[in-house]
Amino acid sequence: MVSAIALTLLSALPLFSAGRTEPSTSELSIAVFVPGVVSGSPVYEMLVAGAQNAVNEAVAAGTKVSLTVIEAGTRQADWGTKMVSTAAEGGYSLIITSNPAMPEIIEPITLLFPKQDFLVFDAKHEGNPAITTFRYNQREQAYISGYMAALVSSSSMTHANKAKKIGLIAGQEYPAMTEIILPAYTEGARAVDPSFEIDFRVVGNWYDASRGSDLARAMQNAGCDVIMPISGGANQGVIAAAKELSFYIAWFDDNGYGKAPSLVISSAIMAQEKLVHEQVAAYINGTLKKGVHTTVGMTDGYIAFVSEDERYIETVPLALRQQMKAMLARIADGSLALPSR
Ligand code: RBF
């Protein structure tokens, strides 16, 4: 039995059922299945917020729709059974989730519950009418991160060293990481200077902040002056190490300039909150295009670099910001094409 956890950060409590809801037949009931924990993971915080916003809006407009958030926890071996129980409850017209591993977990479940619709973000899957997927062009997202990281690492900024070396800490090794994010981060850095080396390390889970901190320390010791953490709750440990040892952070997924002021040198964001909001609203209105995959990116506004933030302007010198701006303009005008692999 899956437990639904009430997240206190969500304000519209009447819309958020802490336990199992028994919707009337005229009522839409939507579940957000979080494969992990929400707190500390930008992708999941945006997932929940986007769904909540869409439901709030629909309710304000008089539509009967409820939202349940289910945190499946960090034991990934349990996600399949937890997803089966969520579908077996039968009360949810739509189950929403997010991460590249979910379609494979859901695929066999669609055979058991053929009427159940699934909407999966940050994932790609085709050919199953019950599974709708959206992913972001993470080649663009990671390229712009690597570019800014290398600009800072090559600069005369206070905490930059002479080594042409930057780091990336991942929660786990998974195909989107090893085939898209890491290669594109490297590609972006080497566009600044081909001699850049990337120190890539893996936490082994998405929550161990003390291991995140240990890895970051070892990496700084090995010459990394900029580190990009993509490790969920373990990111906290990387930030703590950055504050203590003074190295720079390249933030990924949402705006992270507030995480460690004067040390966070970039925020390469995916507009997951906006996309989830739009697609859940489309589902509620009956206009969601089901059973198809869509990739969104920079030209349509779902990948962006946050440059209009005072903390970025104060931290990163003008000359570097101008180089970054010129590179972003080349992506925008099509002269630098970074199609997702
Ligand atoms: N990202 C997080 O921030 N928190 C997580 O708990 C998390 N769990 C993941 C579990 C699996 C199996 C996979 C494949 C990815 C996970 N991610 C997680 C990474 C996330 O999907 C995405 O790749 C990164 O946030 C970069 O955009």
Bridge pairing between strands 303-305 and 264-270? antiparallel
Ligand 1 site-directed mutation target among 34, 43, 120, 135, most atoms within 8 Å of CB: 43
Question: Atom 4 in ligand 1: which residue has the minimum CA distance?
Answer: 232
User: What 3-state DSSP class applies to 317?
Assistant: coil
Residue type present at position 45: E
Q: What is the mean pLDDT of residues 261-278?
A: 98
Question: Atom 21 in ligand 1: which residue has the minimum CA distance?
Answer: 99
pLDDT, residue 217, reads: 98
Residues 147 and 158 in one domain: yes
pTM (two decimals) = 0.93
Q: What is the mean pLDDT of residues 318-327?
A: 98
- 40-70 b/e (C-beta count within 10 Å ≥ 16 → b): bbbbbbbbbbbbbbbbbebbeeeeebbbbbb
Instruction: Locate the ligand 1 atom nearest the alpha carbon of residue 100 and give its number.
Output: 14
Q: Could you tell me the distance, in angstroms and rounded to a whole number, from the CA of residue 205 to the centre of ligand 1?
A: 10
Is residue 21 a contact partner of residue 90, using CB atoms and an 8 Å limit?
A: no
Residues 222 and 165 in one domain: yes
Q: Look at the chain and report how many structural domains it folds into.
A: 2
Residues 217 and 287 in one domain: no
Q: What angle do CA 72, 77, 78 make, to 5 degrees?
A: 40
- Dist. CA 295–CA 290, nearest whole Å: 14
Q: What is the per-residue pLDDT across 161-210, written as a single tens digit (0 to 9) for each?
A: 999 999 999 999 999 999 999 999 999 999 999 999 999 999 999 999 99
Residue 220 is part of a domain; what is its CATH number? 3.40.50.2300
Residues 132 and 148 in one domain: no
256 lines ligand 1 (CB under 6 A): no
pLDDT, residue 159, reads: 98
Q: Which helix (H) or strand (E) covers residue 293, if one does?
A: strand 293-296
For the sheet with 248-253, list strands across it: 197-202, 165-170, 226-230, 248-253, 264-270, 303-305
Residues 169 and 23 in one domain: no
Residue 341, domain member (yes or no) = no
Residues 123 and 174 in one domain: no
Residues 276 and 264 in one domain: no
Residue 212, domain member (yes or no) = yes
Residues 73 and 201 in one domain: no
Q: What is the mean pLDDT of residues 214-222?
A: 98
DSSP state of 75: -
| Alpha-helical segments (H) within 181-222 | 182-192, 209-221
41 lines ligand 1 (CB under 6 A): yes
Question: Atom 12 in ligand 1: which residue has the minimum CA distance?
Answer: 101
145 lines ligand 1 (CB under 6 A): no
Percent of the chain exceeding pLDDT 90 equals 91
Instruction: Look up the domain containing 285 and give its range.
Output: 4-136+272-296
Residue 225, domain member (yes or no) = yes
Q: In this structure, what token pair is assigned to residue 129? A: 């009418």
Residues 289 and 325 in one domain: no
Residues 248 and 285 in one domain: no
- Dist. CA 84–CA 99, nearest whole Å: 17
Residue 339, domain member (yes or no) = no
At residue 15, does pLDDT exceed 70? no
Residue 302, domain member (yes or no) = no
- Of the candidates 222, 91, 192, 30, which has an alpha carbon nearest to the alpha carbon of residue 200? 222
Residues 168 and 259 in one domain: yes
Is residue 124 a contact partner of residue 102, using CB atoms and an 8 Å limit?
A: no
206 lines ligand 1 (CB under 6 A): yes
pLDDT, residue 27, reads: 86
Burial class (CB in 10 A: 0-12, 13-18, 19+), 329: exposed
